Amino acid sequence: MSIVLSVVLLCASEGGAQLVSRRSLLSRPVPEYDNYALQGFRRMGRQEFDRGTTLVFDDFGNLLMDGVELYRLTQSHPVFDDPTTEARDPGSQLQKSLLYHEYLARLVLAKDTYVGSNQRLIIGDRIRTRFTSLTMDMAALNGIRWDGDFGRHGFSLVTSRLDKPIYELEAIFSYEDNVHYDSRVEEVAGLSRSLLAAFLLGGYAQTRVGIFDLGLTYLNQFRVDTQVGLAQNSLKGTLPVHDPGGIGVARRPSFIEYLVVKIADETPRDGQGARVYDVRISLNGVERDDIRPVITRHDTEVLEQSNLGANANNDRHFPRGRTIPPYVEFIKSSVAPEPFLPTETAGANGLEVSDTEYLLYWFAMPEAGTREVHFEALVANDYEISVSEVYVAGLIGKDQNRPQDRNRATYFYRVAGSPGRVTDSSNLGWVGFDYGRQTGITVGGVTLSTAVAGFQLSAEYDMNWSFRQYPDLFGQYHQQRAEAYYVNLKKDVGGNGFFGGELFHISPHYTTTLSIQDGSVALYGGVPYFTDLIAEGGAGTVDQTRNTTMELDLVDDNDDRDVFPENHFLPAFADRDGVFPGLDGDLDGRPGINQNNNSLPDYLEPFLLYYVDPDDYAYGDDMNNNGVIDRREDDDKPDYPYDRDSEGVHLFTGGRWDNGLQLRLGLLDMRQILGGGRNWMRYVKAEYTIDEPSLGKIQAVNFLKRVKDTISDELNRFAYDDTFGPLGSITPVGTRGVNPDDLIGIGIATYQDWPLRMRDSVVNTTFVEGRLKWFPGFTVRSNAKLELNFQRETAFHEANRIQDWSSVVAADYVWTRGNWTVRPQLKYMAQRTTDNKKVVLQAHG
């Protein structure tokens, strides 16, 4: 059974087929002389318009269409699932013609207009696609998009083969036919067919109902195995069930050797922890008392033996937040004459972990017969539970002495957590969860918006279903459902006043990401999946950098809103010129602090430093109290309107007057659903602006807030010192430790923990800036910022006052004589950070 999607370009063609003529020269027309000066350059090739069209037939010989082929997606499944069926020809094949790449610049647009309706069909490698910020927001969708507008109604449909979509880059690395392949392929007529694929199907529909705009969203990502029939390939997705070598006898995608349950402190560094009494396993609905776990204790900030030499896990350079169990160390210790990895036993009082410690429960799995796995954990206090799988990679053998070659492990993924931060064991109880690899996700939602009578309303509700299957030929499915919603309302009052608010809830399990873990990813055409050695800290293989895992997200992490998402499963398509969020004030398409489009902010480069100030010298609202103004924050999360695992309310009111005065008062109460943190804040902000074209502009802002914030926000920041040198700072890397050789260098952005300096504080920030033109050609810019943090005593620190002061003075004069222009520039920056208790790093510059 075949499914064919083919896009052709219809065109006229002169004459019919021609035979090679052997007539004499007198009976044939003489070919004319080509003069490109008159007729323009015309390339001869097999895809030119005037070389005739291509007929497209289905598998039964019926003519489907006639034209010049641009894009072809063919997917074939066997009619019967019997792997011994002859003439079986499964596969997912995607082709983009040379005409598409070279003549049409990898973008095709077709337009149709008829009696008030407008429609466009777009095929491209980088299609900007946004439905809503909670469902789909991609800078570069590679696939097909169809949009229609009928006045009060409109729609958008999208589809893509997400995991192997073909980009321009492949042509650079000699992919002449532009057909992807992997290790599960079958050679058919000289073309490579990928037997596995991941697809996107979705759409958005909008209609006008009275005064409201109503929108409906549906999106589905799912995995496909073309080696089995369509009946076994539902929109839930399916795991590969055949030998990775291609056609063969059906069997498991991998032999699971261990399932590893990780229990950790959900909120490290808060002085509390989790207590574990027991973890049990059930197979196929039957509790197995004979399978008892081996328990080991670990610490994320302690270098372990698994990070060293022959016991290396090869996971130091995984993406941040992606961890696996130290299976190399565990397996080698278990077969060693004298085990070197200590184990633990839970007594009557259980086992406790706190801060950066965690416990691993290793369950040895039987080789056959498992279809479903369920766990029960007896836990209390502030716990977080996640699961990983240690499997035999590719069924290549069982040499216990070489687990580096024999085994692989999936990333841990969270399955449960304690609501809030419990410390008295009042939440003691059994927590149940299943294990499976992700096969697909479905997102459905509704939006509502209006703007009438001074009211502005925007609301959205979405539901997410994440489907997982136990990795076996007959593995059982289970699903996890999560919701996300928000309501924003604003009203203008009396010309000058306004009030409004927002209510929001984003489940900790809400996701738009499909995670694909498969050995074939390591053979993803070889070169396109290659990772930058420097950016990845020197790692040289896909296993070392990506763990043969692709994460396909419908909502990009794209904080600077450019054409390149910050992360991409093909590293060459991720943002390579730095991430500079919210800084294109003049809307010229370039970040204001990176005008030369390199990987360094301009404030780290001589001369360019004159035009831009570092983060600590700039002003903006800091509503999450992490020391970085919100519009310059760069994190590693999808760009949802609110953080995952958060809910709360924000109310505000204020006024704007013609004399340049603005006033805003507000209250914010945001809580983490599982994390237990809270951001409680009351604030008042006053701003006054004078703008005289002949004189210049003066702005003064004062922001006073009473805040209790126990939510840690990690950010990606550039490290620098006052003389453009590297900041020697040790950074946490990998799964379990700190590498003392990893120093933050100039131009290297790294994640930094904010030490929660506003657990209970009164904070006042004053900022004054002036841009003055004293006389023609002479311009002066000056600003000063003073932040006072009056910390109240808590269980984590004494009462204290932290003072941070910074100032910038910059001046230049333009002197012109004839064709010569001389522009001397002078800039002075100063910063001073002090506190009464001497617990904050002192800064003087």
Q: Which of 624-633, 663-672, 799-808 is the least confident region?
A: 624-633
Predicted confidence at residue 347, as pLDDT, reads 85
**Taking a C-beta distance cutoff of 8 angstroms, is the pair 587, 642 a contact?**
no
For 792-806, what is the HEC assignment? Answer: CCCCCCCCEEEEEEE
Q: Quote the CA–CA distance of 34 and 41 in Å, as a whole number.
A: 9
Phi-psi region of 756 (alpha: psi -120 to 50; beta: other; left: phi over 0): left
3-class DSSP assignment, residue 247: coil
pLDDT digits (tens, 9 = 90+) for 51-76: 557 788 877 889 988 888 788 888 88
**Taking a C-beta distance cutoff of 8 angstroms, is the pair 768, 700 a contact?**
yes
13 pLDDT tier (thresholds 50, 70, 90): very low
Q: What is the average pLDDT across 392-418? A: 76
Q: Where are the alpha helices (DSSP H) in 723-839?
A: none
Predicted confidence at residue 534, as pLDDT, reads 33
Both structure tokens of 687: 């701003």
> How much of the chain exceeds pLDDT 90, in percent?
41
Cα Rg, the chain, nearest whole Å: 31
Helix (H) or strand (E) holding 158: strand 153-161
pLDDT digits (tens, 9 = 90+) for 28-58: 666 777 777 877 666 554 444 455 577 888 7
> Cβ contacts of residue 822 below 8 Å, gap of 6+?
814, 815, 816
pLDDT at 222 over 60: yes
Predicted confidence at residue 189, as pLDDT, reads 30
Phi-psi region of 213 (alpha: psi -120 to 50; beta: other; left: phi over 0): beta
Measured at the alpha carbon of residue 50, what is the angle toward residues 46 and 55, in degrees to the nearest 5? 70
Q: How many whole angstroms from its chain centre is CA 45?
A: 40
pLDDT digits (tens, 9 = 90+) for 567-617: 777 766 666 555 555 555 555 556 666 767 666 777 777 777 888 888 888
Predicted confidence at residue 44, as pLDDT, reads 57
Q: Quote the CA–CA distance of 554 and 517 in Å, as a whole number.
A: 18
Q: Which of 248-262, 485-499, 693-707, 772-786 is the least confident region?
A: 248-262
Both structure tokens of 575: 């943002």
Both structure tokens of 782: 């000056």
Q: What is the average pLDDT across 666-687? A: 95
Q: Quote the CA–CA distance of 621 and 626 in Å, as a whole number.
A: 11
Q: What is the average pLDDT across 341-362? A: 91
**Taking a C-beta distance cutoff of 8 angstroms, is the pair 219, 210 a contact?**
no
Q: What is the average pLDDT across 303-324? A: 62
Q: How many whole angstroms from its chain centre is CA 605?
A: 29
3-class DSSP assignment, residue 604: helix
Give percent helix, percent strand, percent coil of the chain, each to the nearest 5.
Answer: 10, 45, 45
> How much of the chain exceeds pLDDT 70, in percent?
73
What is the pLDDT of the chain when averaged over all its residues?
Answer: 79
pLDDT digits (tens, 9 = 90+) for 458-475: 999 999 999 999 988 788
Question: Model-level pTM?
Answer: 0.84
Predicted confidence at residue 539, as pLDDT, reads 40
Predicted confidence at residue 332, as pLDDT, reads 83
Both structure tokens of 504: 């929001």
Predicted confidence at residue 546, as pLDDT, reads 63
**Taking a C-beta distance cutoff of 8 angstroms, is the pair 235, 442 a contact?**
yes
pLDDT digits (tens, 9 = 90+) for 713-743: 776 665 544 433 333 332 333 333 333 333 3
**Taking a C-beta distance cutoff of 8 angstroms, is the pair 75, 157 a contact?**
no
Q: Quote the CA–CA distance of 744 and 728 in Å, as a whole number.
A: 6
Q: Quote the CA–CA distance of 333 and 251 in Å, as a whole number.
A: 30
Give how far Cα 246 sits from Cα of 243, 345, 397, Å: 6, 44, 18
Total residues belonging to the chain: 845
